[in-house]
Structure 1
Amino acid sequence: MSHTIKSKSRLVGRVRRIKGQIEAVERALESELGCADVLMLVASVDTCLRSPVLPIASRDIVLQRCQIFDRASQL
């Protein structure tokens, strides 16, 4: 899992942002904030969850494989 170790700080940061957004939705619901405001918060969580996580981790893997292939083709 070296690819996750290299991207750990970015992945942890992203999870913390998602957690903060979800907590904001919870606070909004508990304080009976208006429907439009709650929906706006929910939409921001939805957008964050839909953005790709894979490229963060897979980019390093692809680059490593390309470098290995390049080295092998030079032999």
Structure 2
Amino acid sequence: MGLEARTASGRRLWLFYVVNQACDAGHAVHQALVRANSAPELAARDGALIKSGRAEVHQIHRDRLGRLSLVRHI
């Protein structure tokens, strides 16, 4: 789960979270936003809240050999 954010100076950055057991893409975005706005995350970003914006949802896929990859959820 990737969330686009802006720094205090306006620079764009992406925050990435692994969200377990999300029911659908909307639920995954909600869970990531809750985590992004938790006390430890806010402290790391000097209190900058993450609101809605660009988000990318990817699923973790394991192939038959056990290799992991990300598959974009559209």
TM norm structure 1 = 0.29
Q: From the two aligned structures, give the one with the greater helix fraction.
A: 1
Q: Which has the higher contact order (CA 8 A, sep 6+)?
A: 1
Which has the greater radius of gyration? 1
